[in-house]
A and B are shown apart, each in its own frame.
Chain A
Amino acid sequence: NAGVTQTPKFQVLKTGQSMTLQCAQDMNHEYMSWYRQDPGMGLRLIHYSVGAGITDQGEVPNGYNVSRSTTEDFPLRLLSAAPSQTSVYFCASESSSPIVQYFGPGTRLTVT
């Protein structure tokens, strides 16, 4: 049972490049989400999914796309990277009973 896994751990992009951050969980959780963590701001929700085929926007969705074709995977796509997207990105999944969110180890992204 690996929990929530994320790849890559580190990434450097140039402005305008695109990339996909990978997230997978092996706990059969329906709910998954993406957060970004910026200094002094805690974590902010980007997108979430309540099950395969269903996604919705969180607090800061602009510049990001998601899809959920399987229960296990929830990739986050940066369409055209900007320096403002420099951040640490965390994927999480949530158990239903008890309701607890499990976080991946994070991806540190730098956009130059």
Chain B
Amino acid sequence: GNSVTQMEGPVTLSEEAFLTINCTYTATGYPSLFWYVQYPGEGLQLLLKATKADDKGSNKGFEATYRKETTSFHLEKGSVQVSDSAVYFCTLKAGSARQLTFGSGTQLTVLP
């Protein structure tokens, strides 16, 4: 079956620090990959996505590259802000299936 494994949290960083949240996946076929973000008290929002190997998704200074050879989709940001504090979910959609498979989420706290 499909599965997503992401770096366990919580992660605490100082403002302007570099962020990496690791994500690896197992899937049949060629999945699409997503990062969703959940701010406190809110629903999930799509942060970025990549639909094929070597694609790079980017948004709000965050980036992730779809690496088929290592089955990874690590999230990075060069300089985090306090407003980036949230829970981040690595997610995949396999082939024509509509269902999303979520990782367990990584809580990020950025301190001023």
A interface list, Cβ under 8 A from B: 4, 31, 33, 40-45, 48, 50, 58-59, 90, 92, 94, 99-106
Contact = CB atoms under 8 A, between A and B. Distances in A.
B70 to A, nearest CB: 21
Interface string B67-91: 0000000000000000000000100
A63 B8 CA distance: 30
Nearest to A4: B43
B89 A42 contact: yes
Contacts, number: 46
Interface stretch (B13-21, B58-66, B94-102): B94-102
Interface string B16-54: 000000000000000010001000011111100100000
Given A4-B43, A103-B45, A42 B103 contact: yes
Interface residues of B, number: 19
A94 B34 CA distance: 14
Tell me the interface secondary structure of chain B in the complex: strand
Contact of B99 (A41, A58, A100, A102): A58
Q: Give the interface centre of B36, B45, B99 by most chain A CB atoms within 10 Å.
A: B99
Contacts of B89: 42-43
A46 to B, nearest CB: 11
Contact of B104 (A31, A42, A101, A104): A42
Tell me the interface secondary structure of chain A in the complex: strand
A45 B105 contact: no
Given A42-B89, A43-B89, A100 B102 contact: no
A65 to B, nearest CB: 19
B93 to A, nearest CB: 8
B99 A43 contact: no
Given A40-B104, A42-B104, A101 B99 contact: no
Contacts of B41: 105
B99 A105 contact: no
